[in-house]
Amino acid sequence: MPALKLLKEVPKADCATCPHRDVTLPVGRCVPGDVCLIAHSGRQIDRFLRRNPDYAEACLTDAFWERRAIAIRYASLAAVRPLAKDADEAVRRAVAMRLPADELIGLMNDSDREVRITVAARMPTGKLSLMMGDPDYMVRLQVASRMPHGSLPRMAHDPDREVRKEVARRLPAFALARLAADEDAEVRRIAAGRMLPEDAAGLLADDDWLVRLEAARRAAPETLSALVDDPEPEVRAVVLARLNGTPDREEA
């Protein structure tokens, strides 16, 4: 016998308490249990405001945070701007999604990390350096993913390895030598796999075999002789393949 599927009960507001019912219900602009402004259901509120955007501005002062947050999508920009100081972080995140990118600087020091992450994802790239010292690594990671290459070296010594890994993925090859001495092996591995051959040669003696492996793939063949007897078979295989002029499995 098949298991019974439990269906979540759909919230349904009492139409008798709705001040809009005489205007919206008779003409199908709302549907109880599906398209409803007063239900405590984000989906129903969004469906209502999508169909009736003229109600959005009035919702910006509603006591229910989710109603305010959803209304931001449909209200005029002029009406939305003051909610950048709303008490609820979800509302401020909605504002950060709605404001033009060049107006986001006022939210870059918001107390909520998700607001700041949203700002970092949309801030004009020329202003991103203002956020590279953010106390939260997730914000800095977003900054590192968008920072112009010319400014990205300034994040090469970020205290968090995830941020430095992103820097290693994005820095131009000629700038990766600055990460050769990074304390984290994964950062060095990513950098070694993208470095200029002459810089990769400097990592052929790295303590971590995965770093040596990537360096062996990048360095010039004439620099690889010391790794012919490397203790790791995968490193030896790459070295021998390159000395013999044949591609290793990663390159094939």
pLDDT, one tens digit per residue, over 19-50 is 998 999 999 999 999 999 999 999 999 999 99
Cα–Cα distances in angstroms (integers) from residue 250 to residues 99, 110, 198, 224, in the given order: 45, 44, 20, 17
Domains in the chain (CATH in brackets) are 15-99 (no CATH), 105-171 (no CATH), 172-252 (1.25.10.10)
Identify the pLDDT of residue 145: 98
Whether residue 100 is predicted with pLDDT greater than 60 in this model: the reply is yes
Instruction: Give the model confidence (pLDDT) of 114-172 as tens digits.
Output: 999 999 999 999 999 999 999 999 999 999 999 999 999 999 999 999 999 999 999 99
The pLDDT > 70 percentage for the chain reads 94
Task: Give the confidence band of 245 by pLDDT, cuts at 50, 70, 90.
Answer: confident
pLDDT at 5: 45
- In this prediction the pTM is 0.88
Mean of the per-residue pLDDT values for the chain? 94
Q: Does the pLDDT at position 7 exceed 90?
A: no
Which whole number is the average pLDDT over 200-207?
Answer: 98
Note the pLDDT tens digit of each residue in 50-97. Answer: 999 999 999 999 999 999 999 999 999 999 999 999 999 999 999 999
